[in-house]
Structure 1
Amino acid sequence: MWQHKTPGIPDELFERVDDVPITKEEVRVIQISKARLSSGQTVYDVGCGSGSISIEAAHQVGSTGKVFSIDIDPNAVELTKKNLEKFQISNVSVILGNAMQKISELPIADAIFIGGTGGETAEIIKLCESKLKQGGRIVIGTILVETLYSVLNIIEKLSFSSVDIIQITISKSRKTSTGTMFLARNPVTIISATKI
């Protein structure tokens, strides 16, 4: 369905439901770029929601790579599975359960994306750091100021270098009866780092 190697699958191509979040297209492109993915790598998508990051990462790591998508919400897991089927992706394993329990069962990762964590962000980052290869990348998307504060505190205490923090504010165009206007989306802060 998506024939391009570049990330940026339009949001409207994904199956969506109201109560399951999606990482928006432009934010997703930046997160994927910050992970610096290559063919054959192993990736986690913690708090996978609709599966948009998982699908983009699966394209980047190719058929020799593997993505593990984790979410505690059964609706998110079902939606991720629907999107994987829609995009004909076969190198993603979808896992229903608490990330704190499920991550410890996974193989060592080359890159880890962390999205929705249900307030356990610091603990999940600690666990992920122990499962990340040396030189591996972690990419964390946050909306809440409190989550950002928690992430920065724990990243500083762990074995990460090259910490990069960016905030993205995007406005998307929308046609009106008299022309085109821009609608602002919520700012997203992305923290990325490399394990020493």
Structure 2
Amino acid sequence: HGLGQVQVYVGENLSYPEEKITSGTAEEISALDFPSLSVMMILNEDAQSFTSTVHGLADDLFQRSKVPMTKQEVRSVSMSKLQPKATDLIYDIGAGTGSCSIELALLASRGKVWAFERNPVAVELLGKNKALFGVDNLEVIAGEALENIKGMPAPDCVFVGGSGGDLCEMLDVIYAKNSDCRVVINAITVETLAEVAAYYKEHPAYSLEIVNVFVARSKHLGSYNLMMAQNPVYVMTALKKED
């Protein structure tokens, strides 16, 4: 990762007669062996905040639990469709683990992201992932999104990962704030797909694109790799038609 010259100190068997402290670069220290009762301190005078050069971060970079998470491949497609700008104000509705919230906050580095989530466990996890990535432009809003978005600034774009049954009402509120807002909605059920299609049929000022994303990941089975299918996801993008 380009950190081979970072200064490292290793303390072995601290407080014991055989206590020993070794210093060197990360590259030098990595070639040495130390006993299990050791403590390592890393000093990086040129430390920089985390920056993302691409969207679609690996899933294992995030803290996880049983809370739903938009997986890497679907997340990458969703971010591509939403096309957030560096200065955008963004809503992430139904934020879950916060993988999309984090990605959006990194992409909109000079803007702001509000992550709306009603599940207390997910809200706690969102806070942990916010701290993990150090994204100060992300604000976690606990509670029902429909009520909470009403008092928020007008968004430039909105990602909806879960609506709690209030999708159409939320879209009405969003478009009342900014009729040009870019919207991407993810869904795994046919019912939500039908609801979104029906909504935009009644709102002809917007074009609706629907992409069904199928992803399969390899899993080791002995000396073989077996492809395990993930749930197919509808990625729906709504953009206002040009005059």
Structure-1-length-normalised TM-score: 0.93
Alignment of 1:112-131 (within 5 A): 112-131=158-177
SS of corresponding position for 2:156:
strand
Alpha-carbon distance, 1:121 to partner: 1.9
What is the aligned-residue identity percentage? 35
Alpha-carbon distance, 1:2 to partner: 5.2
- Name the structure 1 match of 2:85: 38
Alpha-carbon distance, 1:41 to partner: 0.6
SS of corresponding position for 1:109:
coil
CA RMSD, 1 decimal: 1.5
Q: Is the 8 A contact 2:62 2:129 kept in 1?
A: yes
Alpha-carbon distance, 1:159 to partner: 5.8
Structure-2-length-normalised TM-score: 0.76
- Name the structure 2 match of 1:55: 102
- Name the structure 1 match of 2:31: none
- Name the structure 2 match of 1:69: 115
| Stretches of structure 1 lacking an aligned partner (at least 5 in a row) | none
- Name the structure 2 match of 1:184: 229
Alpha-carbon distance, 1:133 to partner: 4.8
Distance of aligned partners of 1:40 and 1:133 in 2 relative to their CA distance in 1, 3 Å threshold = farther
SS of corresponding position for 1:67:
strand
Q: Is the 8 A contact 1:5 1:59 kept in 2?
A: no
Rounded Cα–Cα distance in structure 2 between residues aligned with 1:130 and 1:85: 33
Rounded Cα–Cα distance in structure 2 between residues aligned with 1:118 and 1:65: 26
For the pair shown, which has the larger CA radius of gyration, 1 or 2?
2
Higher relative contact order (CA 8 A, sep 6+): 1
Alignment of 1:96-135 (within 5 A): 96-134=142-180
| Stretches of structure 2 lacking an aligned partner (at least 5 in a row) | 1-48
1:147 aligns with 2:195: no
Letter in 1 for 2:190: V
Match of 1:6 among 35, 51, 54: 54
1:27 aligns with 2:27: no
Rounded Cα–Cα distance in structure 1 between residues aligned with 2:213 and 2:177: 28
Alpha-carbon deviations, 1:110-151, whole Å to 9, x = none?
1000111122222222222223352x3100000010111011
